[in-house]
């Protein structure tokens, strides 16, 4: 994909996310690996509903900002995924409502915060780790992701929002949407004692689709 097309794709997918209410105001950020090893990143203070392809922050392969507006302050978070997961081609971070709500509940399992309600959350996300609260932009967020040694493709920052890494932008966005939809289901079914996938069904998915699932 050409860089021009990649810029257009970032803005189009960001607007779709914004239009459907998955992140609002000037919240959320996206980064995508370019063909030369650099990054295209959504600028700080920008709305997903009104991004300009020409103003995306452009980093070279050495991590230097070479053009565009100033990038999101969450760059340490994005960089940590690229450094620890070689397959990462894009990172998406949102402030999506249901994921944030689930992160605040005391009964949420921090090691696997999404209950196995559907096969698709298991297939697209594996286990989703709940990280503790960090001040937005705190470099310690990146350190926390590096501490996972590349073992998780999706995390949720407590009281803040989810972060998903994918092989490309489309994969990262689809996985992010699955995370938010599963969190929504979990909130809707809270206290209802729903039938979930059992351990054998989860393991069947893990084996069949070669999913990262450390016990």
pTM: 0.96
Confidence of residue 215 (pLDDT cuts 50, 70, 90): low
Report the pLDDT averaged over residues 185-205: 96
Rounded Cα distance between 14 and 42, Å, is: 9
Q: pLDDT, tens digit, for every residue of 40-89?
A: 999 999 999 999 999 999 999 999 999 999 999 999 999 999 999 999 99
For the chain, the C-alpha Rg in angstroms (whole number) is: 17
Active-site residue numbers? 74, 120
What does the pLDDT read at residue 108? 97
What is the share, in percent, of the chain residues with pLDDT greater than 90?
98
Mean model confidence pLDDT for the chain:
96
Asked whether residue 214 carries a pLDDT value surpassing 90, the answer given is no
Domains of the chain, CATH where assigned = 3-208 (3.40.225.10)
Q: pLDDT, tens digit, for every residue of 142-160?
A: 999 999 999 999 999 999 9
Rounded Cα distance between 123 and 96, Å, is: 20
Print burial letters for 89-124: b (CB count within 10 Å at least 16), e (below 16): bbbbbbbbbbbbbbbeeeebeeeebbbbbbeebbeb
Q: List Cβ neighbours of 126 (8 Å cut-off, separation of 6 or more).
A: 152, 153, 154, 211, 212, 213
What does the pLDDT read at residue 213? 85
């Amino acid at each position: 994909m050409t860089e021009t097309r990649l810029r257009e794709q970032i803005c189009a997918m960001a607007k779709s996310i914004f239009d459907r209410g998955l992140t609002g105001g000037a919240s959320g950020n996206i980064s995508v690996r370019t063909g030369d090893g650099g990054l295209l990143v959504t600028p700080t203070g920008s709305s997903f509903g009104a991004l300009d392809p020409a103003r995306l922050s452009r980093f070279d392969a050495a991590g230097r900002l070479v053009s565009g507006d100033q990038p999101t302050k969450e760059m340490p978070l994005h960089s940590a995924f690229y450094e620890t997961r070689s397959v990462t081609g894009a990172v998406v971070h949102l402030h999506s409502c249901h994921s944030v709500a689930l992160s605040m509940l005391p009964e949420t399992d921090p090691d696997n915060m999404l209950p196995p309600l559907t096969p698709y959350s298991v297939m697209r996300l594996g286990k989703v780790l709940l990280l503790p609260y960090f001040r937005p932009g705190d470099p310690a967020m990146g350190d926390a992701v590096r501490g996972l040694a590349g073992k998780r493709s999706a995390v949720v920052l407590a009281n803040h929002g989810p972060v998903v890494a994918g092989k490309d932008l489309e994969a990262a966005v689809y996985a992010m949407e699955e995370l938010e939809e599963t969190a929504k289901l979990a909130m809707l079914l809270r206290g209802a004692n729903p039938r979930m996938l059992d351990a054998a069904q989860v393991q069947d998915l893990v084996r069949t689709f070669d999913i990262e699932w450390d016990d």
